[in-house]
Chains A and B, each alone.
Chain A
Amino acid sequence: MEISHVPDDSCPKKFALPVDSEHKATEFRLFSFAAPHMRAFHLSWISFFACFVSTFAAPPLLPIIRDDLDLTATDIGNAGIAAVSGAVFARIAMGTACDLFGPRLASSALTLLTAPAVYCTSISNSPVSFLLVRFFTGFSLATFVSTQFWMSSLFSGRVVGTANGLAGGWGNLGGGATQLIMPLVFDLIHHIGATKFTAWRIAFFIPAFFQTLSAYGIFFLGQDLPDGNYSQLHKSGDKHKDNFSQVFYHAITNYRGWILALTYGYCFGVELTIDNIIAQYFYDRFNVNLHTAGIIAASFGLANLFSRPGGGMLSDFMANRFGMRGRLWTLWIVQTLGGVFCILLGKVGSLGVSVAVMLVFSVFVQAACGLTFGVVPFVSRRSLGIISGMTGGGGNVGAVLTQVIFFRGSRYSTETGITLMGIMILCCALLIALIHFPQWGGMFCGPSSKGTTEEDYYMSEWTSSEKEQGFHKASLKFSENSRSERGREIIRSAPTPTDRTPNMHV
């Protein structure tokens, strides 16, 4: 255990991990639970995992629920859409909440406020009440933003990519784990003696308890910042509160944010859609039992263990050699391949091949999610929070759109819907070609001939009066560090940045 003594006002602070001047950890030790850094990592991915488990607890039990509540295919489709639509705006709002109250309070508050929706799933008795509980439970997916925000506050640029990729990926694991957990819990309760229509209701208490417990864990064991919690910290002049309308304006006028929101809708949105429909698909099309359908569906989400973090690491690796253009090309290739395997998934008719194709598809689509957040941190420095929230929200919009068009009612069979979804992935991925950074280039064009630098790009977000007051200093530092996005061959005479690139996968 390394201990850094950092001179402080009152007493020297001791941290279990090496820290930089902001007390952000410069190392990531996965198996440590030391406060505040690694403890916060584990608390945040576990609570995000719990929220995913709750949001997707219904799909694996749908074959029972649809009989109990007399649901039609349209009802099921609408509930699935409701489950992912709530988080669209919640994710954007969560960024602001983290700014105001800190990620610890914001995420434990949201988790506790959505827990009643999970408890009340047990007492739903109609298609409408089922839709409502799924809608409100889905708000909890906004904890994605607090997870990423918290990691960015506690880990330095050198390791924040790993921290964010793992926290995001392992949280998404919940969508897979729930497909295993819920049928198992249901079976157990059914065996003990409850009828089927009661057993599924009791089963929902498990994710609800888990969510409540994780909120308690975050509140009592977590800490917003290395030096303390928001409410306790004396807010010195260092922490200047930015102008919300300016930050908002610079976020929505940056077209790259909108493109990434749409393309994230067709990797993460697709992942959410599959979480909703895949268990029923295997149960109905291949006549496997509930247990088996759950296991197959789970393996889709469980690939997140390595595929999303892997995507983030791949993005960093490509940027090291080819800069931002490498990130963009890799994102396009991986997402397009995801689309190809999605088309294939809808076409194959035998169980074994279908499972194999689904696994390959899952790796590509989840890696694309990780790759997207390799580009997001560079779109804007001033409005990073809102751009991240927009992209995250865009993921949910994609899930809503896809389910409305292809998986609602009986217009398309599920397999046709899956193939059409794959075609849509291919089309939306093409938009990545339109992303162009004047200082680095895009997929097809090099950097702008005007010789725009990183400073020009990031300073354009500040007015001259703001610069006079010195508010832009953090962005200036970031511009220097982001020079590595030019790629290895191009960095010749540029001075070596003092810090390494803050690869902030948010």
Chain B
Amino acid sequence: MAIQDFLVASILLSCFIATSYGVSFSSLPETLVVTASPQPGQVLKAGEDTITVSWLLNTSSPAGIDFAYKTVKVKLCYAPISQRDRAWRKTVDDLEKDKTCQHMIVAKAYSSSNNNFTWIVQKDVPTATYFIRAYVYDSNNKEVAYGQTTNSNKATNLFDVQAITGRHVSLDIASVCFSAFSVVSLLGFFFLEKRRSKASQAK
């Protein structure tokens, strides 16, 4: 039976899924200085406005700290106010499970200075309050350092994005027309039914 096959397959699958623990965020040093163009409290429109991010290694870091740094991934991250009552955006120390930063801005090879990138806010970015964080990865693709535009409490320098609604006039019109069509059909049904019963009574 199909269900039995599915059960066997899923039990086998579970044997192959190893529980993985990621890097802990609190263990990462903040060695990058990240700045971004949005002003605190500015509202950016998804699909239209741009963000320019630049990052460089903190000059007061000890020399040679960036020996293992290979790539940098810059991400758009939710501020605490946009995480409230939304468990799918929760901040967790284990970076494998962390859901704070869900939108990728750019991934680039690491260099200690002269990094910037201009990004159009994508159309699938939801309405929320954000900051920007850059993670540094080593050659094993494990996080080794980070930098962010806000402070450690994620309370300063936050900006907003206004999402697209996804609605179009044509969709609106179609919805209303088909709804009206359904109701009119029903009236038609009742009318037809009455006519049929009168016709059969007349026989």
Contacts and interface: CB of A to CB of B under 8 A. Distances in A.
B17 A350 contact: yes
B178 A119 contact: yes
Interface string B154-175: 0000000001111110011011
Contacts of B7: 356, 359
B139 interface: no
B165 A356 contact: no
Contacts of B164: 195, 197
Contacts of B168: 198
Contacts of A409: 85
Contacts of B163: 67-68, 70, 197
A148 B174 CA distance: 34
B33 to A, nearest CB: 30
B13 interface: yes
Q: Is the interface of B mostly helix, strand, loop or mixed?
A: helix
A484 B85 CA distance: 55
Using C-beta atoms within 8 Å of the partner chain, give the interface range for chain B: 35 or more
Contacts of B167: 122-123, 125, 198, 201
Contact of A352 (B15, B172, B185, B194): B15
B86 A72 contact: yes
Contacts, number: 143
B197 A231 contact: yes
A120 B179 contact: yes
A112 B178 CA distance: 11
B88 A353 contact: no
Given A116-B179, A120-B179, A219-B189, A72 B84 contact: yes
A231 B190 CA distance: 11
B88 A284 contact: yes
Nearest to A234: B201
A231 B193 contact: yes
A299 B6 CA distance: 10
Contact of A356 (B11, B15, B88, B174): B11
A105 B10 CA distance: 45
Contact of B123 (A115, A197, A280, A350): A197
Given A113-B182, A299-B6, A108 B85 contact: no
A352 B10 contact: yes
Interface of A: 63, 66-68, 70, 72-74, 105, 108-109, 112-113, 115-116, 119-120, 122-123, 125, 195-202, 205, 208, 212, 215-216, 219, 229, 231-232, 280, 283-284, 299, 303, 350-353, 355-356, 359, 363, 409-410, 413
Given A108-B186, A123-B172, A355-B6, 10 more contacts: A70-B128, A112-B183, A122-B174, A122-B175, A123-B171, A229-B196, A229-B197, A232-B197, A352-B11, A359-B3
